[in-house]
Structure 1
Amino acid sequence: MNNVLVRRLAQLVPMLFFISLVSFLLVKLAPGDPVQAYITPRMNPEDIERIRQSLGLDKPLFMQYLLWLKNVLHGDLGYSLIYHRPVLTMIAERIPATLGLMGASLIMAMILAIPLGLLAGAYKHRWLDHFLNMFAYIGISVPIFWFGILLITVFSVQLNWLPSMGMRTIGAEDSWLDVVRHAILPCIALSFYNLSTYVRYIRSNTITQLSADYVQTQLAYGATRRSILFRHVLKNVLLPVITLFGISFGELVVGAYVTESVFSWPGMGLLGIQSITSLDYPLIMAMIMLSSTMIIVGNLVADLLYRVADPRIKALR
């Protein structure tokens, strides 16, 4: 396992370098000029050029990239062009909100998807399987922003049970129960989509595993179908779930852009939308690099979990 870890960590640096280079070029080639946020109607062209020089935007593109890379290697992610604050400080303020929301939704989806997917595969073509399939198709097909608006309309506007947006109520900033109440609707919206995806993957793999020879052997030895399902089949169907979980690592820190925007959740997703619309280059690059790092780390964690879930993978290496 140590060799795998060292090899994958060695691949991390060139991958991040390539991602940063391509992302920087794409961001700079995007239409728009961040200097426009500083321009006033009475500003002279000399003042505009002075602002451009102070932001380093007058230098050649490769010099801008090298300067940005040098600062990043020293732990400086830059200074927000729009918010006039250090990018690292802004990210540190937003990450806890996103980690809490995304972590809760992923855990909830995982806990529910595993038994539901196993049952759907075990009762293939029966009423339970048809019901869960319909549920999964709806969850995958329905746009998450529409589902979020529907939740707000029903539970916030019509029933007035839960708050519709934000993370805290004014005057109740110190109450963790208030934070939980605000998180229920966005967590349901995110879990609904993830749950539907996981159920489909687990159901498909359960059907495949139930037709394998080892299942027939266990039945011949007198094992119950329930024990085979939850003791043997479960371990084999976890592999695609581990893959999905590894891919979802990037979302843990970057968040769900659409969901956080619909519910005005003050996390990384909402910050990302604001940075893109305002062409805040340092903030956009920080978001890209952070999500890329977490996706790579997620794949590494998934690779290590493969070896725990299936010893045959360890033997092959």
Structure 2
Amino acid sequence: MTSNLPPRIIHDILLDMQKLAPALEKKRRAYNLSLLIGVFVIVGALYALLSYLTDPRLGSQIAMIGVAFLPSYILYRVLNHLYGKAVHRAFIKAVCKQGVLSYSELGFFESREIEHHKILPHALKSVSGEGIKGTYQSITFVLQEISLRNKGDTAFWGIAARIYLSHAFEGHTVMIPHGRHMADFLLRFPNWKKINTMSAKYAPYYEGLTSDPVEARAVLPPHFMERLMDAGQLPRGKMMSLSLTGREILLAYPRFRPLFVVPALWQPVSLAAMQRCIWEIESIFRVIDVIKSNRQIRT
């Protein structure tokens, strides 16, 4: 059984982020003060201008409020962006400080490199976002933001997690949650066998397909699958897809948000906000713990 306690690296990351919290909170308050001063300056300038150009009896004060909203909102967006970039830099510094994880703004792989897993929707355009790479329990992994689009429609926006193994699977097995792309997925595996190795908790929500039923049943027993799905489930997230083929396990998490979401300007820098930034990292560590407990998967 795996421990419910977070790995030491997570503890160290949170500790480093807590050390940065006072400076980030000070920066947040400074940006908020700049925003407040900016709004007062905008409102004051517009009030003076409208008072000069119009008759106050015609409702120039009301017009002033309406006209002031747009530049004030633009100012907020600019300051929020600058603050977000500063917090993001501090966060990445804390994540990579221990030397276990490395960061790339452009990611570590292209989406075409994982097409053979066949668990992501077809797309005319793909965009690779930021990513984290590391080694935990002697297993190398990559977490990366992926966006797939078709004629203006976002087919997938979320996280792809690649877990690299030392030994290859003989067949290819996928677990796909029921959804709008299910018909498309089923067409990709015309000669594969349906297999249900999910526990009763997840079986109603997933379709399992494999090219090697014997291996799939041996490697993915129901009790293991339940623990794996529990470990991979993210707060406020949809169910993940799973593929095992070659020397790799791929997890796909629909998130419809960036990989690392830092607190906004109006949100205090709190421990809860910092923990939300590393949900995905915590999840992949839990998943690897579960994989390591399965002796049928040669890591």
Whether TM-score is above 0.5 comes out as no
TM-score by length of 1: 0.31
| Greater strand share, structure number | 2
| Greater helix share, structure number | 1
